[in-house]
Amino acid sequence: MNRTTLSLIAGVTALAAITGVAALTTPHASGTNTAKAAAELPVERSSLVCPAPSTSDLAETTYTSFTPVTKGTGSDGKAELRSGAKASGGATDAKGEKADATGKADKPVLAAKEPGTPVTEDVSGADSPALIGSADGKFAPGWTVQESTEVAAGTGRGLQGVNCTAPDTEFWFPGASTAADRTDYVHLTNPDDSAAVVDIELYGKDGALETTVGEEITVQPRSDEPILLSTLTSEKLENVTVHVSVRSGRVGASVQALDDKLGGDWLAASADPAGSLVVPGIPKDAKAVRLVAFTPGDADADLKVRLASPSGQITPAGNETLHVKAGMTSAVDLGEVMRGEAGSLVLTPTDHAVPVVAAVRVVRGEGAKQETAFIPASRPIGTRATVVDNRAKGTTLSLTAPFRSAEIKVTASAGSEGGTASSKTYTIKSGTTQDVELPVPSGLKGTYALTVETVAGGPVYGARMLAVTSEGVPGFTVQTLPDDRGMVAVPEAAEDLSVLQK
């Protein structure tokens, strides 16, 4: 149980105390107490942080903000992204020496207009800071922001995309690297007005790596600290798992993984450690797929490796299982496993379940014109999920129902510069992955959002690939579609002061 969960429990306990014990019973019920059903209500506030996008002078970055229309919200609210202080000079010394980097912008960098319509903002160059955002009222439920950056040349050239993340206290990143041809930064973004204290642990194929300054890293208020992984350890390893844990405060965390020859992208955090995992939406034209897994416990994990294809689940030849030693990073190269078909990796225990985290590195293109993206294991779509910055060309939505058939509704929003929303419903058969035909908005101008809702069955997992070819290089990025947690269960409660007289 992480500290976020403990804080939530403490908050609920305090709320019950303030109201004089909320009675979950019918006032005059006799015999056993019967709790009333919890109501599903929209969340009233959301927070997101976006890391500083690039240190390249050639970077062109687009921010896209969107909130799906949600029933039950009021008529008021706002969603804004403001500049956080940017730590200067690239990699920090990991001890928070840049206290003078604190600051707040007076004017929002990006502000939403109405739910159901995306808004965008473009910035250029290497000086774009991290952004800190909040949404309330009608803009809070399902608020989604993406940062998309095109870099024309140099290390990490290609398309880099990341969903701005909610602040939390723990993150796992299997798939990072300290190899000589990689430049990987873990970005720690603190949205609050007080400093956060963070530990970073690295795990290689033989276990925990000795780090020089990985403990008690101070992240100054409202700032972004990009920490170069290769400065934390002297070991040069191809596959590394990064664990970010917060001692005090909270941060958003993402890993920017840049390769000298194979482009680069953002590596988002894996879903929480679990016995079974799904890595959705591996592109059908992938030239190389590498699976990286890690188990944080003290027991080894043995996993069945299955590929959910359009026709059903199959076993990758020669990679039927994966053994993950406790506390060690395991990796396996699956090669051109997709063979021209959409697919998702499904990892399940061979015997008893041991919690693991996982991600894949995907390479597309030929020869010197190859590009890289990362796909972490994801939570299911659940009730609803949204992905933004979809374009008239180059957008692929992949959906998988690994365990049970499901019916899914996909809505394409109005365009950021014009157009009318449209929807389609699909049936995803059990054990399959489908690249679905998108419902493109009529009269589309600009970019649009895709909102995916589970109608029946499931669970369903999803991912969106955005592809932009520039000078023959197939730049691409993949974002997963976990549940947006825009609705929260609120028990129907009544104040019962009679308990104070007993």
- Is the pLDDT higher at 209 or at 30? 209
Least confident of 15-29, 191-205, 324-338, 365-379: 15-29
How many angstroms separate the CA atoms of 180 and 236, rounded? Answer: 7
pTM: 0.87
- Structure confidence at residue 410 (pLDDT): 98
Question: Domain map of the chain by residue range?
Answer: 3-26+34-40+489-501, 44-264, 277-485
Give 39's contacts (C-beta < 8 A, 6+ positions apart). Answer: 489, 490, 491, 492
Closest CA to 474 of 333, 286, 257, 267: 286
pLDDT tens digits along 218-262: 999 999 999 999 999 999 999 999 999 999 999 999 999 999 999
pLDDT higher than 60, residue 86: no
Task: Give the pairing of strands 77-83 and 131-137.
Answer: antiparallel
- Structure confidence at residue 472 (pLDDT): 77
- Structure confidence at residue 501 (pLDDT): 53
Task: Identify whether the C-beta of residue 106 lies closer than 8 Å to the C-beta of residue 80.
Answer: no
- Is the pLDDT higher at 18 or at 424? 424
Average pLDDT over residues 348-368: 96
How many angstroms separate the CA atoms of 447 and 469, rounded? Answer: 17
Read off the pLDDT band of 494 (50, 70, 90).
Answer: low
Least confident of 86-95, 167-176, 396-405, 406-415: 86-95
How many angstroms separate the CA atoms of 133 and 146, rounded? Answer: 12
- Structure confidence at residue 30 (pLDDT): 37
How many angstroms separate the CA atoms of 166 and 133, rounded? Answer: 9
- Structure confidence at residue 500 (pLDDT): 52
- Structure confidence at residue 110 (pLDDT): 96
Closest CA to 69 of 112, 139, 116, 118: 116
pLDDT higher than 60, residue 5: no
Can you name the residues that pair with 203 across neighbouring β-strands? 208, 241
Neighbouring C-beta atoms of residue 371, cutoff 10 Å: 28
Can you name the residues that pair with 371 across neighbouring β-strands? 364
pLDDT tens digits along 56-66: 999 999 999 99
How many angstroms separate the CA atoms of 227 and 201, rounded? Answer: 12
- Structure confidence at residue 490 (pLDDT): 81
- Structure confidence at residue 489 (pLDDT): 84
Phi, psi values for residue 332, rounded to 5°:
-140, 130
Task: Identify whether the C-beta of residue 255 lies closer than 8 Å to the C-beta of residue 176.
Answer: yes
Residue-averaged pLDDT of the chain: 88
Report CA-CA distances (Å) from 94 to 204, 217, 441: 21, 5, 46
Sheet holding 110-111, edge to edge: 45-50, 131-137, 77-83, 110-111
Average pLDDT over residues 153-162: 94
Closest CA to 302 of 320, 317, 334, 324: 324
- Structure confidence at residue 470 (pLDDT): 79
pLDDT tens digits along 427-475: 999 999 999 999 989 999 999 999 999 999 999 999 999 999 877 778 9
How many angstroms separate the CA atoms of 51 and 84, rounded? Answer: 9
Read off the pLDDT band of 40 (50, 70, 90).
Answer: confident
How many angstroms separate the CA atoms of 131 and 110, rounded? Answer: 9
pLDDT tens digits along 7-37: 443 443 333 333 333 333 333 333 444 445 6
Give 12's contacts (C-beta < 8 A, 6+ positions apart). Answer: none
Task: Identify whether the C-beta of residue 370 lies closer than 8 Å to the C-beta of residue 364.
Answer: yes
Q: How long a stretch of residues is the chain?
A: 502
- Structure confidence at residue 213 (pLDDT): 86
- Is the pLDDT higher at 20 or at 214? 214
Average pLDDT over residues 418-429: 97
Give 449's contacts (C-beta < 8 A, 6+ positions apart). Answer: 64, 66, 68, 118, 144, 386, 387, 388, 390, 412, 413
